[in-house]
Amino acid sequence: MAPRLFVFGMGYSALELARLVMAEGWRVAGTTRSADKAAALRAQGIEPFLFDRGRPLDDPAGALAGATHILSTVPPDDAGDPVLDHHGADIAAVAGLQWAGYLSTTGVYGDTGGAWVDEDSPLNPMNARSAARVDAERRWLGLPGVPAHVFRLPGIYGPGRSAIDSLRSGTARRIDKPGQVFSRIHVEDIAGGLRASMARPRAGAVYNLTDDEAASTPDVIAFAADLIGAPVPPLIPFDPAGMSPMAASFYAECKRIRNDRIKRETGWTPKYPTYREGLRAQAAAG
């Protein structure tokens, strides 16, 4: 029988993975929070289930039955990880589970002043959201008998969520904070990295899933503007007082993320090793 992927949180990144494995003949199921989104998933050939903190799966054993692979993209909330709080024991009870993945964040490393970090670097979360991610990682890796893998992701971009899109919508802002860089990952490379791990699982593994080059936001936006023939937005001096708390915390951290481990252990290499390749492909596609 074909493998079955069950996803908690069938959003942007998970849908890319779903499309990838469905093209290989996999069966895919996943959760969403609304009936409208459930109908949209069903129209794409994905078996939908409703789930959120206030609405656990109606029949978890039935929903998870036959799952060979489980992925969670659901972030923790103020009470913890809602997937594990409601269904950790159900996941641990799935017979024949070959792989489980949890999408975390490189925010667990905190600020390194631009220095490189890898999976063995100290964890130094600088806000409650990242601290909750550290706890969620620990819990996923501690599920008894579950072949869990943790993937730490930086900023995600791709069609619909890129510098090109922000330029076209008029929301692009080139914040000038000298020395500030961020790592990124194209949504297709998230799917490719997860698929590579599924093909070569190592229970307990923690991977940084990121491209090869950290870069500043002003550089990325300027490159995107040149690609599509748009004016390059002016630089705006960094001023945390004028930002939302989320944006200010984003700029409070500066680090470069190494991805050597997942390349070495799974054979994965990014299709888009830097933002340049990813944005060029998007611009070429229109």
In a domain, 225, yes or no: no
Neighbours of 38 (CB within 10 A): 19
Strands (E), the chain: 4-8, 27-32, 47-50, 69-72, 99-105, 116-117, 148-153, 155-157, 174-176, 184-186, 206-208, 235-237, 256-257
Element at 249 (helix H, strand E): helix 245-251
Please give the Cα distance from 12 to 155 (Å, whole number).
13
Please give the Cα distance from 187 to 185 (Å, whole number).
6
In a domain, 244, yes or no: no
Burial track 275-286 (b if 16+ CB lie within 10 A, e otherwise): bbebbeebeeee
pLDDT at 84: 98
In a domain, 219, yes or no: no
Q: What is the pLDDT along the chain (286 residues), one digit of tens a residue?
A: 899 999 999 999 999 999 999 999 999 999 999 999 999 999 999 999 999 999 999 999 999 999 999 999 999 999 999 999 999 999 999 999 999 999 999 999 999 999 999 999 999 999 999 999 999 999 999 999 999 999 999 999 999 999 999 999 999 999 999 999 999 999 999 999 999 999 999 999 999 999 999 999 999 999 999 999 999 999 999 988 888 888 888 899 999 999 999 999 999 999 999 999 999 999 999 8
Q: Cβ neighbours of residue 2 under 8 Å, at least 6 residues apart?
A: 25, 26, 27
pLDDT at 246: 81
Q: In terms of residue numbers, what domain contains 76? A: 4-157+185-211+257-271
In a domain, 171, yes or no: no
In a domain, 175, yes or no: no
In a domain, 282, yes or no: no
Please give the Cα distance from 88 to 141 (Å, whole number).
11
| Domain at 101, CATH number | 3.40.50.720
- Stated length of the chain: 286
pLDDT at 187: 98
pLDDT at 248: 83
Tokens standing for residue 252: 């409070």
- Crossing angle between the packed helical segments 275-285 and 217-228, to the nearest 10 degrees: 30
Please give the Cα distance from 10 to 184 (Å, whole number).
21
In a domain, 281, yes or no: no
In a domain, 9, yes or no: yes
pTM score over 0.95: yes
Give the CA radius of gyration of the chain: 19
Number of compact structural domains in the chain: 1
Phi and psi, residue 206, nearest 5°: -120, 125
